[in-house]
Structure 1
Amino acid sequence: MGIPRLLTRLKDAGVAPFRELGRSGQAPHTIAIIDGPSFAHYVLYTLQIGSQSRNVLEPNITYAQCAAEAVRLLRMLEEHGFQIGEIFFDGALPASKRDVRLQRLAAYAAKLTVYKRIYVDKLLIAGAQDVWNIPELRRARNDLAPPPFLVSAVLEGLLETTCGFRQKVFVVPDEADRFCVAAARAALNTGQDDMGVAILANDSDLFVFDAGEQTRVIPLNDLAVREHDGATSLSGCEVWPAQLAKSLELPNLIELAWHMEQHSTLSMRECRARMNAEQKLSNDDFTAFAAQYQLTDQPHILEKLQHDNEERVLFASLDARIAELIQQVIPVQADSSSADAGEVDMFLPFLFEDPARTSAWRIGSRVRKLSYEVLLYAAGRNKTTVVEYKRAAEHVSASRLQDWGPETLPIRLTECGEAIKGCRDASCGQKRSDRSDRSHWLRLIAQMLMSDFAHEGWPFPAPRDLVGVLLSRPCRSWGLLNLSAQYQAMFYSLRMLNQILTYIRKAFGDGLKEKGFRQAVLESMDQLADMPKIEVLLEPTSTTREDEDRWSVVVESILSALDPDWRPPEELERRPNGKKRRRKDTDRKDKRATGERQSKEHKLFATNPFAALEAD
């Protein structure tokens, strides 16, 4: 999250020079240790520079592009003499950063609201064709939060066995920056004498850590590749924190960084002068600030993960936010106090949705609650409360989930696995080789999504709109955008359940005491095990009219199963005598047919979010 303008002020002071870092074809000269979240955002940054903007509401970079670009950039570094060491992804953020995270979520929500307001205002003036020519609107779109699953998609791309970086990836039970520092120190102690060490990141906090006298920090966003004489060179800025501290006659840069954070308009030299003029800092705020830049058990945990590949892979298979949830319930760090906490936090990804509507995270809430319950049950923490943070209008809401039902959990989890199996067997037959097929998962998620619509008493969307979302077509209206966000919410909720079940099975193994619960975990995990990657389920695909017609039939069958009174829109448009219905009659019929009325089935959905799969 960093210190404001730190890199800019270091550049102004002449201690972050821009220079050549390597040439194409050069032998390895530097071990590159990479901050994963920074790298993921750098991937997005490079793609946005070269992208052609589309006249649609949502950003136009796909997750598949991000995954491919991540691999390309790492190979580019290798080509210019960097040997890829470790790539670290956050697996937990300290509780002290909760307020900062909430502020960031609120800022994302406010920017989304501003974007919609500008769009609506400019649409009235310019019309649908010309509205995207207005620079103010394009700037507002570029200022939005990054794609919600960006970091996870990049992580998945690097874990592909074909890309060659799978063994380099670590999801760690802390912030990535501390592990980057721990890895840099270890590399200096065990590395070759002729190899330097560089941490590649955009997090300015890494300029403050003491990562060793021969370690430099290279900001990712400043990297530039230039061609000359048939070859290429890689250039960028570099900062040598330990050497900078030595030149300023300081033991480290922590106190200087404190002053630079407190006085964001002062230069580095002015802040250094303040250190000479003021008394030695000893207040509680400075003590807490300094503690952020000290390593505790990170070197020990890193060594363990480096030597225990099974545990490394176990953590690397988790999304950062899910890993953070698990770490709060089942701590890896020895000094963690979360094991006794009465509440644990779940920061849901910020979805690109209609800010005027109910949060899209209303969808999938019952699946997520089942996930939390499974995790807490396995850890023996049935009295713990889970606090979900998500957008609410222009603000952030906190939903407290508790009142678990441990007595019935094994039964409900078994029903979950059976329902998913029944749905998938009906749609793809019994062959397991068919189960990872994208179309079968799209159908499953669509059924779960519409089940939640029925449970909430919401009108079903038009079949053509749901088909468009399933096929990841560009969204040209806020209604479609919101439906797409709801689809993503259901997808992520199922993904969460899958990852938690997998983690519990591998972490606890036969240590799960209750036989019924252990069997339910195995059965449900088996049905979710083939869930495709983010880039597969959320990737736009080219389709034919026949494909769209086929999906329309699938969607209509889903809606009919959820509400026997539902009828396709074209049937509602005409009377039996062939004449068109009056609008009033059509609206009345639509309301009756779209799931707004409560039914016996809805009561079943309230207790079992997977009941809709059995109803089809």
Structure 2
Amino acid sequence: MGLFDHATTSFVSTRLPPAPFLVPVIIDALGKSETYKDVVEVVPGEADLYCGRSVKQHGGLVLTGDSDLLVHDLGADGSTSFFKDIDHQPDNSDGLHSLIYYPTTIADRLSLPQSHGLRALAFEMIMDGHGTFRKLLGQSITLKTINMHEDQYLDFLKPYNALSQSTTDSANRSSGYPCQFMNFLHTLDPRISEWVFQFPSIARCTDSTASAAQLETNSIHVFLPFLVDCPIRTTAWEASTSLRQLAYGLLKNVTSTSEQEYCVFEHRRQNNINGKGYQLPNTPVTSGACTNLINLIEHLHHNFSRLPVPDRWIAFAVYQQVEWSSSAGKPVNSNFIVQKLPTLQTQTNLNNCAWDSLQFLAQVQGVFYSLRMLQQITGLLMSGGFERPCMKEASTLYDQLKSLPPLKDVPSFTCAVTLIHKIRAENMVQAAYNTLGIKEQRSLEVQETSENSRKKRKSGKNMAPKTPGRKQVNNSFELLEVE
């Protein structure tokens, strides 16, 4: 299908989500492109505000997927267009086509007050979600609801007030943060940036008042990318939790005293709406964890010094998966799929990968991204500007993480079999067991024993007669076990 083809709802709902690290990979590519690197800017806050300011000052069009841009102050000549409206007409040599929306023109046609524009109608829709368009339009023309709820209207406007260049410059000058720190903020991944800016002491270095306002409950919320893993198993992010906890702890320990008690809540698959909370370690514990990680990386890189640097990090990911599985009493996926290698010879794409392979690959991807989080946070600490000094272990760790491969080179589904061959050929699983000082788990034997035990338990139960030709199961997800 073409890039701008419109698929039916039923088709879209059955598709897998986009690649988990698509956005940061694109940002990395643009930053390294000779054509685009000088005209692309990653802003440390809501991009809508910066786009709105640019269009208001210079005119132009904002290409977006967010209809809220119509409510932003885009100026008299500002306009917006939506990704869903982009269409390609093969018979037309002009290329791509899209509808363009001019908020001021729309407001004029609706006879809305020039002082309020589409914001008046948007506020009416917020206050009365069940009102008819004719009713809401009439009330927005007379500013009925706005006059009745002025304070609520002012709160409604806060996320849409365009930034002024003088305000941003003033915030940057008065923040006291060094230039290196400000520049590094612009290199953070969006998922990392959004939780970093929840610390008020960091948010104040830009005009990110909206981010700072979220910290009234003294809690930081981290939204991790979606990993394609087995839906009935423990989320693949769990295998790399310790790495992310270290990243959270390193940042927390250098922020202001008033922010030392903040808790972090991770939002991942298989979590409730509140996320999974973590009490972050204090400085001595964080320092010890840094030292242990540094020693582990040095040990594994020394053991696999004959391999290219990216492959040494794969060995680290294997170790991380084996260590977590062993300590949590879970089957070691890496061990199992290496033993199962002959059956994977033809499985070169996602459509016929077994759940074990998918789960392991997702765990590897989770380890790499968690290391990237550590890499970016330690880099931010090295750029200075915090109230508390950074521990020396963080500097050593940052130097080690500089060799981490970019996200575009993180193993994907297209190279799953090649990855497993490499792990087996280099005895990475055995090396992980040797480093841990524990006996290798024979995953095939464990699984077969567990399967036989399960069958024996089920055979001893009084079961209702089965309908001929139809398998009866108590748990509908058991059907997923049939590979």
The TM-score range, normalised by the shorter chain, is 0.7 to 0.9
User: 1:106-505 residue pairs with structure 2 within 5 A?
Assistant: 139-142=12-15, 145-162=17-34, 164-188=35-59, 197-227=60-90, 231-247=93-109, 248-251=111-114, 252-261=117-126, 271-276=136-141, 279-281=144-146, 282-283=148-149, 284-296=151-163, 300-301=167-168, 313-329=183-199, 330-331=202-203, 332-333=205-206, 335=209, 336-337=212-213, 342-381=218-257, 383-391=260-268, 393=270, 395-402=272-279, 404-429=281-306, 434-435=308-309, 438-461=310-333, 463=335, 465=337, 473-474=349-350, 476-505=353-382
Task: Give the one of 402, 410, 414 matched to 1:537.
Answer: 410
Per-residue deviation, 1:186 = 2.7
Q: Which consecutive unaligned segments of at least 5 residues does structure 2 have?
A: 173-177, 454-483
Q: Is the 8 A contact 2:222 2:264 kept in 1?
A: yes
Q: Give the TM-score normalised by the residue count of structure 1.
A: 0.60
Per-residue deviation, 1:303 = 9.6
Partner letter of residue 208 of structure 1?
V
CA distance in 2, matches of 1:482, 1:428: 28
Whose RCO is larger (CA < 8 A, sep 6+)? 1
Residue number in structure 1 paired with 2:175: none
Structure 1 range deviating more: 413-422 or 284-293: 284-293
Q: How many residues align?
A: 428
Residue number in structure 2 paired with 1:565: 439
DSSP 3-state at the match of 2:89: strand
Offset from partner CA, 1:390-425 (integer Å, 9 cap, x none): 246474353332252312433432332232122113
**Cα–Cα, structure 1 residues 472 and 316, in superposed 2: closer, same or farther, change >3 Å?**
farther
Residue number in structure 2 paired with 1:129: none
CA distance in 2, matches of 1:154, 1:396: 29
CA distance in 2, matches of 1:446, 1:524: 19
Per-residue deviation, 1:495 = 1.3
**Cα–Cα, structure 1 residues 221 and 310, in superposed 2: closer, same or farther, change >3 Å?**
farther
DSSP 3-state at the match of 2:254: helix
Structure 1 range deviating more: 499-508 or 166-175: 166-175
Residue number in structure 1 paired with 2:460: none
Partner letter of residue 242 of structure 1?
T
**Cα–Cα, structure 1 residues 279 and 586, in superposed 2: closer, same or farther, change >3 Å?**
closer
CA distance in 1, matches of 2:81, 2:9: 33
Offset from partner CA, 1:418-441 (integer Å, 9 cap, x none): 321221132135x9xx43xx3222
**Cα–Cα, structure 1 residues 289 and 543, in superposed 2: closer, same or farther, change >3 Å?**
closer
Partner letter of residue 428 of structure 1?
S
CA distance in 2, matches of 1:487, 1:347: 18
CA distance in 2, matches of 1:303, 1:234: 41
**Cα–Cα, structure 1 residues 266 and 533, in superposed 2: closer, same or farther, change >3 Å?**
farther
DSSP 3-state at the match of 1:344: strand
Per-residue deviation, 1:374 = 0.8
CA distance in 1, matches of 2:420, 2:268: 33
Per-residue deviation, 1:250 = 1.9
CA distance in 2, matches of 1:483, 1:542: 13
Q: CA RMSD in A?
A: 3.9
Per-residue deviation, 1:213 = 0.9
Bigger strand fraction: 1
CA distance in 2, matches of 1:303, 1:50: 45
Q: Give the TM-score normalised by the residue count of structure 2.
A: 0.75
CA distance in 2, matches of 1:427, 1:211: 55
Q: Is the 8 A contact 2:266 2:277 kept in 1?
A: no
CA distance in 1, matches of 2:63, 2:9: 33
Q: Is the 8 A contact 2:253 2:388 kept in 1?
A: no
**Cα–Cα, structure 1 residues 400 and 299, in superposed 2: closer, same or farther, change >3 Å?**
farther
Offset from partner CA, 1:200-230 (integer Å, 9 cap, x none): 111100111221111111112222343558x
DSSP 3-state at the match of 2:153: helix
CA distance in 2, matches of 1:362, 1:543: 20
**Cα–Cα, structure 1 residues 168 and 225, in superposed 2: closer, same or farther, change >3 Å?**
same
Partner letter of residue 36 of structure 2?
F
DSSP 3-state at the match of 2:263: strand
Residue number in structure 2 paired with 1:5: none
**Cα–Cα, structure 1 residues 410 and 464, in superposed 2: closer, same or farther, change >3 Å?**
closer
Offset from partner CA, 1:250-299 (integer Å, 9 cap, x none): 22210112234456677755532233467242324433223222135676
Percent of paired sites with the same residue: 20
Partner letter of residue 558 of structure 1?
A
CA distance in 2, matches of 1:185, 1:390: 35
Structure 1 range deviating more: 204-213 or 340-349: 340-349
Partner letter of residue 393 of structure 2?
A
Residue number in structure 2 paired with 1:67: none
Per-residue deviation, 1:567 = 5.8
